[in-house]
Structure 1
Amino acid sequence: MLSHWILSLILGCAIGLSLGALGGGGSILTVPALVYALNVDAKVATGASLLIVGSSALFGTFAHHRFRRVEWRVGLAIGAISIVGSIVGTHLNRLIDPNLLLLIFAAIMFAVAVTMVVRDRRAPADNVTTIDSGLAVGVTDDSDATSRADGSSPVLMTTTRVRRHYRPGLVVAVGVGVGFLTGFLGVGGGFIVVPSLILALGFELPEAVGTSLLIIFLSSAFAIVERGGVHGISDSILVPFAGSAMLSAIVGNALAGRLPLRRLNHGFIVLVTSVAVYVTLRSLLALA
């Protein structure tokens, strides 16, 4: 249907922009968008979401790579480790009632909103030029902390690469956790990857966003292979949704440094919370 095609284009654009600008977030809305706006079965939607989010993340990865925002060594390591969690999550997905799956999804959305609120409140204090989380973090002397025009926390801009020594345990934990969520719920896990890279591995925001997209692509690809592909969804929905999301991810990357990030975060928190409330009510009524 033409209406589904147009709606898929619009939803794909919104999710791609979020993924490109924030390194995540949009994926958490993909499944509810497919289920409630386009009437796709919940389990089918989790599989389709993997293709939509994964392909968008791939485009976004190379866009961020142009600005040296992707730590390939760490991203590839975490992505490879995510295979373990993806296998477990995919098998568990097949055993869960669709309405219970959506209820769990809503709980994750609430957790994402709370995490973003906490991170936003701490942002004014995050104006240091280095992050010491027990890692050997070294920043070259030509680093320059610059404030955003919208008054949000300064973002560290470096002209040379940052040298770190990573704790293997943290890398493994992030990889397994992201893989599980990707396989179980069909989300990229960027809402977990970005904070983890910043808080646990000492990344600055720009490179955390770029690296998270590489991890999202890899974990999504592994989950699709584990599921045996994407099935049960019309091409009239999947093609325009995925296509517009991929192109919008590139636009989101270009806008990442120009838009008031804090205001975007506030709006996204409200949106995620609202959708979570809606999904919770619909799922509880269906389970009753």
Structure 2
Amino acid sequence: MEYGLLALIGLLSGIVGALIGLGGGVILVPSLLAFFPELSPQRVVGLSVIAMIFTGLSSVLSYIKVKTVDYRSGFIFFAGSAPGTVLGAFVNKSLELPAFNLYFGILLVVLSALLLLRGRLQPVGWFVRRGQKRSFTDPQGKTYTYGYPVWFALLLTFGIGFASGLFGIGGGSILVPAMILLFLFPPHVAVGTSMLMVFLSAIVNSITHISLGNVPWLYAAAAVPGAYAGAKIGASLNKRLNSDVLVTILRIVLLILGIRSIFEGIW
């Protein structure tokens, strides 16, 4: 029964993660904390980062086929996030469950606010004007111009990587809104490029958590196939659907889970 639940949680996290470029950890981590209290925060994070390797790989392969991955940007973002994930993983060692719940809850509330504001804030062109410009033409013939200063991208993704290593999230939940609002990425390219960074960062993140003994392999074996299959579904849906409804649902769920986690951390 519990392995079936793990597979279902993995499937849902893979679908949502690949569809919006989040990586899936924002679904997987709070679900594991809620339904599997026998797992410590460290083991929950360890399981999540293993699942993110397969979520990232599955979705990136799908996005490569439709040519919505900016490889240069993906590797620059990875260069910033990789050291951050290692630092976050080591800081994670010292977190007790109440503190983890509190800080993770605050992060979920912030992510919910980012998703809420993503569609309402006006894009900022300052970073594009001061960075190397790139262009992308979508299948409808619309051309986007986007860009960023490399130094700022490295600083931003270092912080995102730290949060990923600390909490087991993919980092795309922060990176995708930043790419769209600050760097003016076209949404589909933002998602595809984010998943490349999630995949590469998850490999580094996983090596660190494996070395720390944080991975519950039997639980991971049940969740990973669902996450891989879910990522395939999510990437396919991304090409066909307007994800506004899902984003609305997700931000409400994140807000509820975040408030719940904060209360558990305080009381």
| TM norm structure 1 | 0.83
Map 1:1-288; keep pairs closer than 5 Å. Answer: 3-24=1-22, 26-39=24-37, 40-122=39-121, 133-134=128-129, 135-137=131-133, 139=135, 143=137, 157=142, 166-227=148-209, 228=211, 231=214, 233-235=216-218, 237-285=219-267
1:245–1:131 distance in 2 versus 1, CA, 3 Å: farther
Amino acid corresponding to residue 233 of structure 1 in structure 2:
P
- CA–CA distance in structure 1, aligned partners of residues 127 and 159 of structure 2: 23
Q: CA deviation at 1:202?
A: 2.7
Instruction: Report the Cα distance in structure 2 between the residues aligned to 1:80 and 1:139, rounded to whole angstroms.
Output: 22
Aligned-pair CA distance for 1:165: 5.5
Judged with a 3 Å threshold, the aligned counterparts in structure 2 of structure 1 residues 276 and 138 are, in CA distance, closer, same or farther, namely closer
CA contact (8 A) 2:88 2:166 kept: yes
Shift of residue 247, structure 1, vs aligned partner: 1.1
Tell me the alpha carbon deviations over residues 122-154 of structure 1, each in whole angstroms, 9 at most, x when there is no partner. Answer: 4xx77xxx99732453547xx4696xxxxxxxx
Distance 1:278 1:268 in 2: 15
How has the CA–CA distance of structure 1 residues 255 and 230 changed in structure 2, closer, same or farther, with 3 Å as cutoff? Answer: farther
Cα deviation, 1:55-110, whole Å, max 9, x if unaligned, reads 21111111101011111111112212222212221221112222201210000000
Structure 1 residues 157 and 131, CA gap change in structure 2 (3 angstroms):
farther
CA separation of 1:93/1:113 partners in 2, compared to 1, >3 Å: closer, same or farther?
A: same
Distance 1:139 1:272, change over 3 A: same
Q: Structure 1 residues 87 and 67 mapped into 2: Cα distance closer, same or farther (>3 Å)? A: same
Equivalents in 2 of 1:250, 1:67: separation in Å?
A: 13
- 8 Å CA contact 2:46–2:216 kept in 1: the answer is no
* SS of the residue 2:82 aligns to: helix
What is the distance in 2 between the residues matched to 1:89 and 1:102?
16
- Give the aligned residue type for 2:242: P
List runs of 5+ in structure 2 lacking aligned partners.
Answer: none
Quick check: 2:14–2:228 contact (8 Å CA) kept in 1? yes
3-state DSSP of counterpart to 1:177? helix
Report if the CA contact (8 A) 1:137-1:202 is conserved: no
Give the CA deviation at 1:168. Answer: 1.6
**CA spacing shift, 1:268–1:279, aligned 2, 3 Å:** same
The change in CA–CA distance for 1:66 and 1:272 in structure 2 (over 3 A counts) is: same
Which letter maps to 1:100? A
Relative to structure 2, which stretch is displaced further, 166-175 or 47-56? 166-175
**What are the ranges of 5 or more consecutive residues in structure 1 without an aligned counterpart?**
147-155
Report the count of equivalent residues: 263
Structure 1 residues 284 and 132, CA gap change in structure 2 (3 angstroms): closer
Given that 1:24 and 1:191 are in contact with CA atoms closer than 8 Å, whether structure 2 keeps it comes out as yes
**More displaced 10-residue stretch of structure 1: 13-22 or 36-45:** 36-45
Which one has a larger percent helix, Structure 1 or Structure 2?
2
Q: 1:90 to 1:231 in 2, by over 3 A?
A: closer
Larger Rg: 1
Percent identical residues: 22
